[in-house]
Structure 1
Amino acid sequence: MNAPSPSPFPSLSAAVFARLARTRPDPAGLTLLGSALHTRRLLLLKALLVRVQRQRGSVDPAALGRFERSWALLERAETLRPAVVRDVLDYPSTGVWLAAALAEPAGPGFDRLLARLDALALTAALRCGGALDLTVETPDGLLSLPGVGRLRVAAERVRFGADDGTVRVHPDGSRRPVPAGLTLVDRVRGVLAGHGPGWSAVRRLPRGGARLDDLDPYRVPAGAGGASVGTAADHADTDHPAWSARWRSARELLLRTDPGRAAEVARAVSVVVPLVRRGPRHLGATLSAAPGAVLTSLPAEAQGMAETLVHELHHSKLATLHELVPLYGPGREALHRVGWRPDPRPVAGVLHGAYAHLALADLWRRAVTADGVPRSWRSGAGQQFDDIHDQVGEALAILLESDELTAEGREFADQMRQHHASLGATPLAAG
């Protein structure tokens, strides 16, 4: 069984590096970050395979057999439609699962995590089309197909049979299919449609390919990591029309304020994960293991959603870039005060916060003079710009004086400083 062969990390030109640092939308930069993400995902998948092969004596034989069978299925699917398999592997929750599996010590917990490859391989195979006869474990009566949906069955094993794009789902040992099914409705893009009372779909957000994922068990990490970003909202409690309306209005606001920024969000944000609100404060988060996903509670207004998308997208961009070109070194414990948080932050937190808030300052600067945006947005953006512009300036001074950044990190911070200075070069017009 061979691992997928990752290509080397893509080269990063000085011009693209500078444009990424200045937070302005850059299609070439997004393309490069997407390639880096996929390469990283393949490397992690290969690392998991190597670990399983080296520790096969400690892996439950049944779990090992299922893992190897699913790996082979994934390889076969890749020969049919590489782009579809890439979409499955690059899905944000795949990164969360890989991070959890690679960190889990040998034992029953690791064996259970290996079973997730069944869902990935099955999803890829179903989306690629062709004949299929596969039985998978469903110990809790649920099977999650990443990016597609969730199937509920009253069985611990389910057999999938597929031919000519029609999928039949049978509980183990039963000749009668469950009252739910899947159909391949678009062979080119590998789009599956589900039906029946046992099926729940991951819904698409309007005007683009982004998904509202309130189903995937790996959309928020388990344990302490999940608690740090918030509690995932349950599918039954998610107001899907409200989320779609807020997404649509935020996209429209971004389009009127900054068309380039709107296009960047449409291209780079692939998943929105609803979080349960904690008190009156709005929550927004990203996961370094899951670039492209924005975790957020439902903002009250369009501007709140627009700001969250821009802010969290830049955390994702920086996390992916740091994997490609390290911007700071590991293991330093110095803490620094920043204006936007009450608690002191390590240099990584200062850089991430300054970068995301610099993008917001750029957005608010443009909102002040944009045509066709609500007057409340213009006036509020002007005040927010004034506050955050000063705070980002203070954070950049910390970064530029720090010895914790790499040479590339110092260049990155200097490019940020230049863009920060340009935003304050002219007075803001009253909204």
Structure 2
Amino acid sequence: MGRTPAAGEAEPLHRLTPRQFESLTQGEGDADALAELVRAEHSHRLLLLDVLMDALTPLAGAAAGPLPAPRRAWDLLAAAQRRAPTAVRELLDLPETGLWAAQLLNRLCRPRPHELPLWADVGHLHCLAAAAALRAGLDFSFPLPCVAGRVELPALGQVRLPTRAAQEVAVLAARAGTVTVTAPHGIVRLPDDPSRPAPGWLPLHHTELRLPGTAPVRLAFDDLGPHRIAPRPTGAARRLGRRTVTRLTRLVQGAARLVAEADPASAATLTALLRTIQPMQAYELFRVRSATSGHGVGGLALSLPESELACAAALVHELQHSKLDAFAHLFPLIEEEPGPGRLYYAPWRDDPRPLAGMLQGIYAFTGVARFWRGRTRLPGGAHDQLAWLEFSLWHGQLAQVVPRIATDPELTEAGRSLLDGVQAIVSGWSAEAPGETAAREAVQLAGRLAADHRVLWRLHHVRPFPEDVEALAAAWPTDDGPTLPARRQGVRAERRQWHLDTRAVLARMALADPVALDKLRDTADEDGVPGVTGAVLADLVWATGDPATAEHHYRLSLTEAPATPAAWAGLRLTLEETGRAPSALRALTAAPELVRALARHLHGRVGRQVDPVELAAWVGRAVDAGT
């Protein structure tokens, strides 16, 4: 069959030197290591396409439908490769190519009802071949799938034809530099310069990133293609307006400069890997949405950030995921046949995470912490409270999490090496402390926010046994205090957005724009804070520097509705800041789910309103006795 268009240029066996391997396990990666990852990822992509072609061959006409057989598309791709090998390699290495191939292979292996006919899905190979032939300057004519009037030409753009059919066949013809796409209900002529829009033709948006000492990076903003890292509910991409493209371009270019300034390791990764950004719908301040896929290394989905700095942090985060995905294609990190899955606390997530997810999060936030650390070390960085908050928060979380994950028996040798490398880097940061008072306050705030997230997570996901709660309720309110049950608890693994970062978002706003935060108090009420999902008035009062008043709001709320996890955690946070009721603070730190369950039991089954601080202090006496 001629397995790949580059059949005559077989890739050598991929190896990393010990130095390259070590640099990658530490979350960084020098230029040579990254170049080898890129070459290895190309081989991985070719292997995936090879497996896909083998799966399509026995399907014959069922896979092709009204289109030519996949072998014909493969032959056209091979012809283009002989004329323009670099252009074809770029097309095959597109993140979207990997997404399509993996999704189609999964569809073939696990058949299920699908809205898109198989031939139209397979037909993306024909679109790839046609785009390659166009870039190679070939004269040809080739049928392509037209889905809802759209014909995709990867890396180039999208043809839009008038049609009433959900799927039909269009024919692309290239003759002497003239390119037309003809369907039963219309014809579109592509412009001589395909980067410019024309009637029926939408080109991909592109920009160039220029970082010091490196070649320019050509980056696509893919708002057209159907193969999405984070699909929209409708399944279709949404075309960006001109102003949004201009703003996104400015944000990404500025973010790249910030990354290069503060974090050379991430700048090198950006240059080596980043090829496509798929825009996502914007969310809220300090809640940039972003995502990657292991099948689309080099691509990421990104909502419109509020600033170049937020964009820079998001790029670093997602590029760490891409780098680890490429690394894991060479060195599996988890045993192929793992035992019963363990779930862990992930301080960057709302939900409990399995081992694979923990490794991804650890690697990503090692890069994030490194970026913010770099910001603190720039001229004037000692006064950058936001940078100190972010660095201290993620550094502290990594220091807590990595040792626990390192003992998981399902780690491979490479997985253990990865955690050892990260641990070495994180430990090296531990001796650093700010000298400026404002920065020290940011570091202290980071510790409180880390504890707040842990407590909130426990309140949502850890459940004490009902009989233990009943025994405590029967003892309330004895003078001697309760006897806590032995450590018996269950973790409820729900994948749901709880917004455990709400107070962290408000804290960031307080550092970045305290005037805007004060203005929110004019519009907030007990039911919520506009623009900060999950926040209530008490949270806003706390963020504006009034923990005593915030405590009053939390306390009142819990007296009436003792089931609210965010209010219990907020109460604990304000007790920590005011120094009141130390026994209550210890109970809400060590066993918050037990205090909450007991309050709910007393309120719901016994019908008694209980002061939440008094109840927590009662439980806290047992915590004190056990320490």
2:413 aligned with 1:407, yes or no? yes
- CA-to-partner distance for each residue in 1:225-271, whole Å, 9 max, x for gaps? x77xx987611457111101111221222232234533431332111
Match of 1:211 among 209, 220, 229: 220
Q: Check 1:30–1:231 CA distance in 2 against 1; reply closer, same or farther (3 A cut).
A: farther
Residue in 2 that maps onto 1:188: none
Runs of 4+ in 1 over 4 A off after TM superposition: 230-233
2:23 aligned with 1:19, yes or no? yes
How far the C-alpha of 1:130 sits from its partner, in A, is 2.5
Identity %: 28
Residue in 2 that maps onto 1:127: 135
Q: Which sits farther off after the overlay, 271-280 or 230-239?
A: 230-239
Q: Distance in 2 between matches of 1:72 and 1:61?
A: 18
> What amino acid sits opposite 1:276 in the alignment?
Q
- CA-to-partner distance for each residue in 1:95-141, whole Å, 9 max, x for gaps? 11111110114697433211111110011110111322223232422
> What amino acid sits opposite 1:395 in the alignment?
V
Q: Distance in 2 between matches of 1:360 and 1:236?
A: 28
Q: Distance in 2 between matches of 1:308 and 1:121?
A: 33
Report if the CA contact (8 A) 2:66-2:169 is conserved: no
Residue in 2 that maps onto 1:309: 315
> What amino acid sits opposite 2:207 in the alignment?
L
Q: Distance in 1 between matches of 2:74 and 2:387?
A: 50
Q: Distance in 1 between matches of 2:391 and 2:240?
A: 38
Larger Rg: 2
Residue in 1 that maps onto 2:57: 53
Q: SS where residue 178 of structure 2 aligns? A: strand
Q: Distance in 2 between matches of 1:133 and 1:342?
A: 52
Q: Distance in 1 between matches of 2:227 and 2:3?
A: 23
Report 1:169-208 matches (<5 A): 169-172=180-183, 178=188, 180-183=189-192, 192-207=194-209, 208=217
Residue in 2 that maps onto 1:95: 98
Report if the CA contact (8 A) 1:210-1:266 is conserved: no
Report 1:30-429 matches (<5 A): 30-56=34-60, 58-59=62-63, 62-63=66-67, 65-105=68-108, 109-154=117-162, 156-164=168-176, 166-172=177-183, 178=188, 180-183=189-192, 192-207=194-209, 208-220=217-229, 234-236=238-240, 239-278=244-283, 281-330=287-336, 331-332=338-339, 333-371=341-379, 378-429=384-435
- CA-to-partner distance for each residue in 1:66-95, whole Å, 9 max, x for gaps? 422211101111111211111001101111
Q: Check 1:150–1:393 CA distance in 2 against 1; reply closer, same or farther (3 A cut).
A: same
Report if the CA contact (8 A) 2:226-2:236 is conserved: no
Q: SS where residue 62 of structure 1 aligns? A: coil
Q: SS where residue 310 of structure 1 aligns? A: helix
Q: Distance in 2 between matches of 1:233 and 1:61?
A: 25
Report if the CA contact (8 A) 1:257-1:367 is conserved: yes
Q: Which sits farther off after the overlay, 380-389 or 200-209?
A: 200-209
Report if the CA contact (8 A) 1:220-1:231 is conserved: no
Residue in 2 that maps onto 1:189: none
Q: SS where residue 361 of structure 1 aligns? A: helix
Q: Distance in 2 between matches of 1:232 and 1:388?
A: 35
Report if the CA contact (8 A) 2:269-2:319 is conserved: no
Q: Distance in 1 between matches of 2:353 and 2:296?
A: 22
Report if the CA contact (8 A) 1:60-1:111 is conserved: yes
Q: Distance in 2 between matches of 1:76 and 1:296?
A: 36
Q: SS where residue 125 of structure 2 aligns? A: helix
Q: Check 1:257–1:111 CA distance in 2 against 1; reply closer, same or farther (3 A cut).
A: same
How far the C-alpha of 1:202 sits from its partner, in A, is 1.0
How far the C-alpha of 1:201 sits from its partner, in A, is 1.3
Q: SS where residue 401 of structure 1 aligns? A: coil
Report if the CA contact (8 A) 2:161-2:187 is conserved: no
Report if the CA contact (8 A) 1:256-1:371 is conserved: no
Q: Distance in 2 between matches of 1:60 and 1:70?
A: 10
Report if the CA contact (8 A) 2:100-2:227 is conserved: yes
How far the C-alpha of 1:325 sits from its partner, in A, is 0.7
Q: Check 1:429–1:92 CA distance in 2 against 1; reply closer, same or farther (3 A cut).
A: farther
Report if the CA contact (8 A) 2:80-2:133 is conserved: yes
Q: Check 1:116–1:60 CA distance in 2 against 1; reply closer, same or farther (3 A cut).
A: closer
Q: Distance in 1 between matches of 2:235 and 2:22?
A: 36
Report if the CA contact (8 A) 2:279-2:301 is conserved: yes
Q: SS where residue 371 of structure 1 aligns? A: coil
Q: Distance in 2 between matches of 1:19 and 1:293?
A: 22
Q: SS where residue 133 of structure 1 aligns? A: strand
Structure 2 unmatched runs, 5+: 210-216, 440-627
Q: SS where residue 158 of structure 1 aligns? A: strand
- CA-to-partner distance for each residue in 1:332-365, whole Å, 9 max, x for gaps? 4111112222321111111111111111111111
Report if the CA contact (8 A) 2:126-2:144 is conserved: yes
Aligned residues between the structures? 413
> What amino acid sits opposite 1:36 in the alignment?
A
Q: TM-score of the superposition, structure 1-length normalised?
A: 0.88
Q: Check 1:103–1:21 CA distance in 2 against 1; reply closer, same or farther (3 A cut).
A: same
How far the C-alpha of 1:149 sits from its partner, in A, is 0.9
Q: SS where residue 138 of structure 1 aligns? A: strand
Q: Distance in 2 between matches of 1:285 and 1:426?
A: 31
Q: Which has the higher contact order (CA 8 A, sep 6+)?
A: 1
Q: Distance in 2 between matches of 1:402 and 1:8?
A: 34
Q: Distance in 1 between matches of 2:362 and 2:25?
A: 11
Q: CA RMSD in A?
A: 2.6
Q: SS where residue 16 of structure 1 aligns? A: helix
Report if the CA contact (8 A) 2:225-2:237 is conserved: no
